[in-house]
Amino acid sequence: MHSNKRKNADFELTFLGIGAQKAVYDISLPQEQKEVHFWDWHYRKGFEWYIRQFGYHSQKASSASAPHYGEITPCYVVLPEATIAELYKCFPNLKIIFVARDLVDRAWSAMIMELRDQTMGLSAGEFANGVTGTDKNNNSNHANKRTKLSAAQQRRFYFMDRLRNATHDSRSNYAKHLSNWYKHFPSSSILLIDYREIESNPRDVLLKVAMHIGVEEEQAKQFVTSLNDKEVGQRVNAATSSGSGASTVSSSTSSHQLLTQRPMLKKQMERYLQPYARDFNDMLKTKGYDWRLDDFSLKKEIL
Q: Which residues are annotated as a binding site?
A: 101, 109
C-alpha neighbours within 13 Å on the C-beta side of residue 212: 25
Q: Which of 96, 54, 89, 92 is nearest to 73 (CA)?
A: 96
Q: Is 13 helix (H, G, I), strand (E, B) or coil?
A: strand
Residues annotated within the binding site for 3'-phosphoadenylyl sulfate are 101, 109
Q: Whole-angstrom Cα distance, residue 45 to residue 38?
A: 8
4, 36, 163, 219 from 47: Cα distances, Å: 11, 12, 35, 31
Q: What is the dihedral of CA 289, 290, 295, 296, to 10 degrees?
A: -170
Amino acid at position 114, single letter: E
- Contact at 8 Å (CB) between 281 and 292? yes
Q: Is 276 helix (H, G, I), strand (E, B) or coil?
A: helix
- Contact at 8 Å (CB) between 73 and 18? yes
